[in-house]
Structure 1
């Protein structure tokens, strides 16, 4: 009798201890997956609803049940995502402790919400990364300034020489025509003398256009680096930003696809925000799209447009798509967007954060082996500068 009383007292003491324990505690009977006990912290966290299926995605809930039923050893410091009241993803840090008494087996599930801790850690990492990036960009700016100065000097030298050559061509062509009149049509470098007056000027103009493109690309890159050093808010033309990104990534586009198209709606209202962040966002989303392509025959298509209160940038790819079981997790912190054959950059968690900084939203539709459509909606600025 005394032994029974002592065991009863110990049991009551144990329950009181659990009730004031710093973490939420739920005790399960694992065979039937039945909740035997919850401490007050767990009740508060679950808001009195013992149905855990409402707090997890279906696949995670099934995995959780299996963990409880198969728990025969201590499992500590594991993580699982859950659905918060605001419909955003949260993260739980949990441990499982199997407790057996005679032939009766229980599993003690202890957990705490570490979402804010992870968010703060991620925010700190972002700020540190931004500081490192700023420092690197300062160095890159010095180098690119020097390189662009030299390249522009060379480009100007080539253009000036071509202008002189073009002027000389008029005299050369007169001599060619006189010779042709006396001796008949002949070939110059495989080109008929009767066509040479059209071909040579066209070649010279195309060379000048190519030199100008080199100069424009260097200028765009310098502007991109300069804007990376400037975190100030500005009024932005999204078409201009997308065009610049396409210029910067032109080499990568050629590597990944022979089918790249863009369609801009002209005259769109402007948006307000940090231009460098928007450029970096589009670069990463476009690189994700390119890297998802299984071959160069598959394409990527970019378009811009507007709704009643927002402008949008839409990136369609004919890539491998995102598997259905991954779609619910794509915005989670630290989740990799390298679905199958690529996808580098910020990750969709940080991309979504940047878009929210603009007061916008992102929508992703994807079908495995068919492709993905990413649409970014951003509120535009009215003429008086207001949204």
Structure 2
């Protein structure tokens, strides 16, 4: 859609009206799909571009043109995304008004850039949601504390009984050996008396591990709730935080893959920041990675390490990957390929914002059908209290 100036075809009154209008205003010839005239605010917005298709994605531009062409008798209002000069995505709210002027149909287009307004509205919504979450977490913390107390009491009771059972077993085992020596090999609960010395301790050890896992899971969940109630920064052990996230998502991981790999480098320096926010980022990225897997045979690789003066957290998946067409937009707000399944288009945008709050950065590399690699770099916390 090229811009042509046809002031001669317009009355002086109409031109004065358009020029005096404070908001960007454009006049179209909907039959020829030409821009007849635009006022100074519109010129300031579009700059030196003479082809409006440069501002829009192809499909968005086609929809835009069709709306203008079909605008005959009623006003239309739409939202459309456009490309800014720096390559980022913006959002325009525009209104179309069909007007008959000297036997010629023209369409007025009034528009406003609402990108920042939407961002502020979403930030406000997110802050309000955070306040609501804080209130809910307080209630959950009270309930969790009570449940944790009861479960830990039961776990302690089971451990104590298991110790007594194991001591009794050691005495019984001597009787089993004496009977076997006199009467030959026999079965106990379907287990050969020759093998029972190895199997019973293993069974008791697995029960002990199960009890410990129950207790650790409850403790990790309580820590997650506690951290969610804090807003201030604290010193963070990245490996402990990652382990806690894995525990919380253990069932989700099992549902999506049988090939989950955790590799944590020991002795990492600590970092400083809001624990709950960093947990949210890792949970979000790990869930994204899991949901990208086409089947349970494909793997997830979660690792930590140190590179220079930065700690890194790497999440690599063998999923469907990200197409080249959408890679430039993945960190933009409201961009999502999951709107139909409830996606908001804010996950990666907010994750990037949180990591930048930490003074870090996040990088993404992806190849279609092969997978995606996400690396979070975070500055180490020095002993002198400086980053």
Query: TM-score normalised by the shorter chain: which range applies?
Result: 0.7 to 0.9
Matches within 5 A, 1:313-324: 313-324=313-324
Determine whether 1:276 maps to 2:253. Answer: no
**SS across alignment from 1:131:** helix
The DSSP-based 3-state class of the residue aligned with 1:262 is strand
Q: Is the counterpart of residue 15 in structure 1 residue 15 in structure 2?
A: yes
Aligned match of 2:121: 121
Residues 1:360 and 1:55: Cα distance change in structure 2 (over 3 Å)? farther
Of 71-80 and 292-301, more deviation after overlay is shown by: 71-80
Partner residue in 2 for 1:239: 239
Q: Which residue of 2 aligns with 1:4?
A: none
Would you say how many aligned residue pairs link Structure 1 and Structure 2?
A: 381
Return 5+ residue gaps in structure 2 as ranges. Answer: 1-6
Do structure 1's residue 43 and structure 2's residue 47 form an aligned pair? no
The 5-angstrom pairing of residues 274-353 of structure 1 reads 274-338=274-338, 347-353=347-353
Q: Deviation of residue 332 (structure 1)?
A: 3.9
> In the TM superposition, what is the alpha-carbon distance from 1:228 to its structure 2 partner?
0.4
Structure 1 residues 20 and 310: CA distance shift in structure 2, 3 A: farther
How far off its partner does 1:126 sit? 0.5
Q: Does 1:78 align with 2:78?
A: yes
Q: Which residue of 1 aligns with 2:143?
A: 143
Bigger mean CA deviation after superposition, 229-238 or 245-254: 229-238
Is the Cα contact below 8 Å between 1:318 and 1:370 reproduced in 2? yes
Secondary structure at the aligned position of 1:221 is classed as helix
Displacement after TM superposition at 1:61 (Å): 4.2
Superposed, 1:208-223 pairs within 5 Å as 208-223=208-223
Q: Distance in 1 between matches of 2:148 and 2:238?
A: 26
Q: Is the 8 A contact 2:271 2:378 kept in 1?
A: yes
Distance 1:162 1:44 in 2: 79
Stretch deviating more after TM superposition (374-383 or 321-330)? 321-330
Superposition pairs of residues 17-32 of structure 1, within 5 angstroms: 17-30=17-30
Structure 1 counterpart of 2:386: 386
Per-residue deviation at 1:65? 4.4
Structure 1 CA distance, aligned partners of 2:242 and 2:88?
30
Give how far 1:236 is off: 1.8
CA contact (8 A) 2:334 2:346 kept: no
SS at match of 1:198: helix
1:29–1:36 Cα contact (<8 Å) kept:
yes
Q: Secondary structure at the match of 2:127?
A: helix
Name the CA distance, whole Å, in 2 between partners of 1:368 and 1:342: 23
What is the CA–CA distance in structure 1 between the aligned matches of 2:307 and 2:68, rounded to whole Å?
A: 49
Alignment partner, residue 265 of structure 2: 265
CA shift digits 1:21-68 (9 cap, x unpaired): 232112234455443322111122234444434544455445544544
Question: Which segments of 5 or more consecutive residues in structure 1 lack a partner in the other structure?
Answer: 1-6
| Partner of residue 4, structure 2 | none
CA distance in 1, matches of 2:377, 2:285: 14
The Cα of 1:178 is off from its aligned counterpart by: 1.4
Query: How far did residue 104 of structure 1 move?
Result: 4.5
Contact 1:293–1:317 (8 Å) recurs in 2? yes
CA contact (8 A) 1:292 1:340 kept: no
TM-score normalised by the chain length of structure 2? 0.87
> Does structure 2 conserve the Cα–Cα contact (< 8 Å) formed by 1:79 and 1:93?
yes
Query: How far apart are 1:232 and its partner, in Å?
Result: 0.8
CA distance in 2, matches of 1:305, 1:31: 62
Pairwise CA RMSD of aligned residues? 2.9
1:372-383 to structure 2, matched below 5 A, reads 372-383=372-383
Normalised TM-score (structure 1)? 0.87
Deviations 1:118-147 (A, max 9, x none): 111111100110011001101110111011
1:365 aligns with 2:374: no
Alignment of 1:191-210 (within 5 A): 191-210=191-210
Q: CA deviation at 1:19?
A: 2.0
Moved more, 96-105 or 107-116: 96-105
The 1:320–1:121 alpha-carbon spacing in structure 2 relative to 1, beyond 3 Å, is: same
Q: Is the 8 A contact 1:239 1:304 kept in 2?
A: yes
State the partner residue of 2:253: 253
| CA distance in structure 1 between the aligned counterparts of 2:345 and 2:49, rounded to whole angstroms | 40
For 1:248 and 1:344, locate their aligned partners in 2 and report how far apart those are by CA, in whole Å.
Answer: 23
Q: Superposition pairs for residues 177-188 of structure 1, below 5 Å?
A: 177-188=177-188
